[in-house]
Structure 1
Amino acid sequence: MKKRILVALVSVFLFSGFLTRDNDIYFEINKSIDIFGRVYREVALNYVDDLNPQNFMIAGIEGMLSSLDPYSNFIDVSEQKDIEIITKGKYGGIGATIGVRNSEVTVVDLIEGFSAQRQGMRIGDVITKINEQTISKENYDRLGDFLKGDVGTNLSVTVKRENNSDPIVFNLIREEIEIKNVPFYGFVPENSNNSYLKLSGFSQSAGEEVKKALLNMKAQKEIKSLVIDLRGNPGGLLDAAIDVCEKFLQKGQLIVSVKGRDSVSVKNHYSLEEPILPDAKIVLLIDEGTASAAEIVAGALQDHDRAIVVGTNSFGKGLVQTIIPLPYNNSLKLTTARYYTPSGRSIQKINYSTTGKIFEGSHALIKKEFKTDKQRLVYSAGGIMPDTLVKKVSGSQIVQRLLAEGMFFRFATHFSNQNISLDYSTVSQQKMISEFSAYIQKAGFDFVSKSEKLIDQLKESAKEEKLDTKFVTQLDNMKKEFDASHSSEIQKYKDEIYNLIREELIARSGGKEKRLKEALLFDKQFETSLSIFNNPKAYGSILSNTARQN
């Protein structure tokens, strides 16, 4: 009897402990809401200058959320369409991708078959006005509000174009545009059994698009190997990532584990389908732009030794967000969980819980060893590490600078506007390089290498220390030699420069699909994938080796 009473007392004590803790947090929340509401009311009504109550409220919410992580955001009414685009993969638009180039809002891509492309808009056109709204880089972040809208509605887009003195006005109709998660797939090289699939996002239809692409290629001929290109893929929906994984993993294999704030709240997601390509060799291409849902796919296929990962370290986002509806058609995008790959690792790179005083405990991010199904070593806390490290960055400083300043894009716009009906393949490499060199010189492209910067620093120091003028003259002569060497460096890397120019020009004449196909012809990471496929011994040894290939 005493034993039962003791157990009952212990149970009551433990249970009441939970109640006390819960009551404490709810008391603190209610108290904080009361204080926050009172401060908001006092400031909104009594501040010396008139305030916009709604904007003031949003500023307070955003300030609160900014103390958490970059992915937790308040979504007001005007941004709801962006959420619908992510989830549904559809929107009403004109079929143009817009970016900022050379400080101007510029058309950087066109979707074939939609109003912008049909009516003659070109890549490189600079948008100056939408309806009556003047457009510049200052209001670029609101561009979606001006361009997107209900299907069937009209809008006027004014652009300026090189070699046209007058602005061009396009009267366009918004059409339903479905975002393609798979912009290109096919056999590359065409006469081979190696297939290639570019996966650029994870909206709702991603899994179905991958399935359709694989079945279409299988209908043409046997697929012996597949390159899945996840480079630059920012991620998307968790369910879409799971759906894609199911096309490659064995039925019943673990894809990802999602763990919330409560350690008991763990959801394991397993593959419910049979794979479409059970025997094909697979290589995944990743880079620092591969994030979130794309990392879930990379992690699952790597941990189950289903694919060799080639490229550079991925972004390292191991957090999961949930969209929570709020009153008045607002929403809250809140980080509610972490995900773990099948081996049990979190690939989250940055620990946001150590950045402020609001967190009661820190979730430690420690680089630990984990093992794949075949006992290969993989690591946590730093994104997905490739099995074979292959960098894509050019070895030339001048090429890197030309890319950074958008000179290839700008030259392609200039050249295509001057040669509208020209077949670019008929232009020799020598002539194209010559025209490009003349263009960048006229555009005022100024390249200063690291060595030249050091010379400039030496000159400044020499002048300050009042060294012999002969020494300064020698430095000036060295600088002139560097200036002369720039043109020779362009000649040294002419093949790479010519290929980058061709890629931009083909995008203007053949669209995104042909551009992707052209880029593969001189893609170092893709070439590495093919060499791995062509060497069965190498493919097998990488999947059974515990060491990374460099």
Structure 2
Amino acid sequence: MKGLTRGWKVFLLVGLFVLGLGTTLNTDHGKYFEIAKNIEIFTNIYKEVNTYYVDELDPGKLMRTAVDAMLKSLDPYTNFISESDIEGFRYVTEGKYNGIGAQIRVIDGYITIAEPYEKSPAMEAGLRAGDQIIAVDGHNAVGKTPEEVNEILKGYPGTEVELTIKRPGVDKELKVRLVRDEVKVPNVPYVGFVADDVGYIVLTTFTRDAGRNVAGALKDLEADNPDLKGVILDLRGNGGGLLAEAVNVSNVFIPKGELVVSTRGKVKEWDRSFKTLNPPVDTDIPLAVLIDKNSASASEIVSGVIQDLDRGVLIGQRSYGKGLVQNTRDVGYNAKVKMTTAKYYIPSGRCIQSVEYKDGKPAHIPDDQRAAFKTRNGRTVLDGGGLKPDILLDPDAESDILETLQEKHFIFKYATRFALQHDSIAPPEEFHFTDWEDFLAFLAEENFDYDTDSERLLKQLKEKAAEEGYLRPADIKAIEAKIIEAKKQDLEKNKDAILDLLEKEIVSRYYFEEGRIMVGLRNDPEIKIAVEVLTDSARYRQLLSPQ
């Protein structure tokens, strides 16, 4: 092979693989022949494109595009994990990774530190939320995606990386040298009391030791208050994680030997049933589980088990509807493929996987189109399209102004300015933002504006009116004037909701995620309803009884 180029060596090796595949699978002249034939076709296309395409190609990038497109056609959860992606995969499964310990996002065209984790290399080096990353080890970072920058920031513990940053309020660029380390992100960031006799546990992801951490949190609450009347498990926004940890979290509240979930897929030998293996912490304490539209997968297993066994009350919004199980398979060169291998079924026998999607998200399925099942007490529950809470609450109305304040980062940027001007603030339980006028002045400086649904509809109306002539220009102007006046009043109308957003973002700059959660609990209507239910034993029992 001495005279062959590196590219031709690759093609020869792929060809030998195809030949081997055909030899191995020649006992089935149907499906397996099709596999071998199409791999050969793909190899030939790859060879021709690499040889004759007008520009020089990156073989790795081209192949990654092909693999990603193939897997994307199956479902949103089946994907390829390259060697460079492994640190991100490790974070999802273990809750830890090697890097600098900070969330980043694009704000105003710059990769920006959104939140340095407590006790992380980023925090120790003095990085702050709002710092803009200009360069990494001298290489320009402007215009890069968060994924591209994260790939550089992650690395072996003990290795160094130098960031060039632009800090709001500081004229010159700063250079910050960090030493990478293992970063651990807690899956139970807060445990406490939301009333004298009601405990609260928030679980943000089902990474390793989630069950052990929830069990420890409940034991601590009961040790602090032996007369505890109930506990709230908050799974809102929890997108899931490890199936084994869903079983372990359920085991905290239900007896040993209970069926939690069954998985069924194409390979029958892989079908499994998972039961609780350990003694529970408490099977009697009244329990409320909070869920929302972003509670998915492992969150839905735990919530579904609690509902099916009538162990507690679900409160909030319908969950996401992800009843699929993924497993990873090694594919060589330290890479893996994560693919859907089964659906899961909770104790009542139902699968809560959504069967309809719109714009890549689960679509609402009317109750009369969903199959009915029974809980242990005989209550009717439905399959497909997520879990319906026992107490269904409308989420806080997301007005155009609130969405714009967050999506355009006005709340974030004001908190950044506030932190530059204030070295410290009161503890989270005592802090209240009082400088409303300063925030309004900041919005004026930033030329804050937003589009409303009314304005979008008015634009369509103007186009139609121009075509059909039913409305005069004066009529359109009168409507526009009313919209402008209404928008002026929107800030005051939404003042309480905006103050809540401001307080959570500001407090996170000083007290990190735990502080953000503590402030959020103060104004949370779903927490208040959960407390009412848990402290009213008659209502609690009635909710868990057949209607």
> Is 2:447 the partner of 1:405?
no
Q: Deviations over 1:340-399 (max 9, x none)?
A: 1111111111469xx9xxxxxxxxxx7211111111121111012111111332364423
- TM-score calculated relative to the size of structure 1: 0.86
Alignment length, in residue pairs?
A: 512
Partner SS state of residue 200, structure 1: coil
Q: Which AA in structure 2 matches 1:106?
A: T
Q: Deviations over 1:72-128 (max 9, x none)?
A: 112222112222333333222222121233443222222222222233222222222
CA contact (8 A) 2:255 2:276 kept: yes
User: Which residue number corresponds to residue 228 of structure 1?
Assistant: 233
CA contact (8 A) 1:394 1:400 kept: no
1:185-334 equivalences under 5 Å are 185-189=191-195, 192-222=196-226, 223-263=228-268, 265-334=270-339
User: Which residue number corresponds to residue 393 of structure 1?
Assistant: 396
User: Which residue number corresponds to residue 77 of structure 1?
Assistant: 83
Distance 1:368 1:81, change over 3 A: same
User: Which residue number corresponds to residue 523 of structure 1?
Assistant: 524
User: Which residue number corresponds to residue 123 of structure 1?
Assistant: 129
Partner SS state of residue 227, structure 1: strand
> Is 2:387 the partner of 1:384?
yes
User: Which residue number corresponds to residue 445 of structure 1?
Assistant: 448
* Distance (Å, rounded) in 2 between the aligned partners of 1:531 and 1:369: 29
* Distance (Å, rounded) in 2 between the aligned partners of 1:337 and 1:389: 29
* Distance (Å, rounded) in 2 between the aligned partners of 1:395 and 1:61: 38
CA contact (8 A) 1:234 1:292 kept: yes
Partner SS state of residue 195, structure 1: strand
> Is 2:161 the partner of 1:155?
yes
Q: Which AA in structure 1 matches 2:200?
A: Y
User: Which residue number corresponds to residue 33 of structure 1?
Assistant: 39
User: Which residue number corresponds to residue 494 of structure 1?
Assistant: 495
CA contact (8 A) 2:230 2:535 kept: no
Question: Among residues 58, 64, 75, which one is paired with 2:64 in the alignment?
Answer: 58
Deviation at 1:184, TM superposition (A): 0.9
CA contact (8 A) 1:503 1:515 kept: yes
* Distance (Å, rounded) in 1 between the aligned partners of 2:108 and 2:384: 37
Deviation at 1:137, TM superposition (A): 5.2
Q: Deviations over 1:438-475 (max 9, x none)?
A: 2112212213333344444444555555678xx43354
Deviation at 1:144, TM superposition (A): 2.1
Q: Which AA in structure 1 matches 2:79?
A: N
CA contact (8 A) 1:408 1:500 kept: yes
CA contact (8 A) 1:258 1:338 kept: yes
- TM-score calculated relative to the size of structure 2: 0.86
Distance 1:270 1:23, change over 3 A: farther
> Is 2:538 the partner of 1:537?
yes
Question: Among residues 145, 148, 164, which one is paired with 2:151 in the alignment?
Answer: 145
Q: Which AA in structure 2 matches 1:216?
A: D
CA contact (8 A) 1:249 1:275 kept: yes
Question: Percent identity between the aligned chains?
Answer: 35
* Distance (Å, rounded) in 1 between the aligned partners of 2:27 and 2:237: 44
Q: Which AA in structure 1 matches 2:286?
A: K
1:73-112 equivalences under 5 Å are 73-112=79-118
User: Which residue number corresponds to residue 507 of structure 1?
Assistant: 508
Q: Which AA in structure 1 matches 2:388?
A: M
* Distance (Å, rounded) in 2 between the aligned partners of 1:134 and 1:128: 6
* Distance (Å, rounded) in 2 between the aligned partners of 1:493 and 1:47: 57
Partner SS state of residue 344, structure 1: coil
CA contact (8 A) 1:162 1:414 kept: yes
Structure 1, gaps ≥5 residues long: 1-18, 356-365
Structure 2, gaps ≥5 residues long: 1-24, 361-368
> Is 2:141 the partner of 1:135?
yes
Distance 1:392 1:432, change over 3 A: farther
Range that drifts further, 270-279 or 114-123: 114-123
CA contact (8 A) 2:353 2:384 kept: yes
Partner SS state of residue 217, structure 2: helix
* Distance (Å, rounded) in 1 between the aligned partners of 2:36 and 2:460: 60
CA contact (8 A) 1:127 1:157 kept: yes
Deviation at 1:187, TM superposition (A): 1.5
Deviation at 1:423, TM superposition (A): 5.1
CA contact (8 A) 2:324 2:343 kept: yes
CA contact (8 A) 1:90 1:177 kept: yes
Deviation at 1:149, TM superposition (A): 0.9
Q: Which AA in structure 1 matches 2:240?
A: G
* Distance (Å, rounded) in 2 between the aligned partners of 1:518 and 1:457: 41
* Distance (Å, rounded) in 1 between the aligned partners of 2:207 and 2:435: 40
Range that drifts further, 480-489 or 384-393: 480-489
Q: Which AA in structure 1 matches 2:94?
A: K
CA contact (8 A) 1:432 1:498 kept: no
Q: Deviations over 1:261-307 (max 9, x none)?
A: 04565211111122212211111111111111111111111111112
Range that drifts further, 22-31 or 139-148: 22-31
CA contact (8 A) 1:281 1:307 kept: yes
* Distance (Å, rounded) in 2 between the aligned partners of 1:137 and 1:240: 38
* Distance (Å, rounded) in 1 between the aligned partners of 2:142 and 2:272: 46
Q: Which AA in structure 1 matches 2:541?
A: G
Q: Which AA in structure 2 matches 1:101?
A: I
Partner SS state of residue 273, structure 1: coil
User: Which residue number corresponds to residue 345 of structure 1?
Assistant: 350
Distance 1:438 1:158, change over 3 A: same
Q: Which AA in structure 2 matches 1:198?
A: V
CA contact (8 A) 2:415 2:502 kept: yes
User: Which residue number corresponds to residue 422 of structure 2?
Assistant: 419
Partner SS state of residue 544, structure 1: coil
Q: Deviations over 1:303-360 (max 9, x none)?
A: 11112111111111111111101122221111111111111111111469xx9xxxxx
> Is 2:178 the partner of 1:177?
no
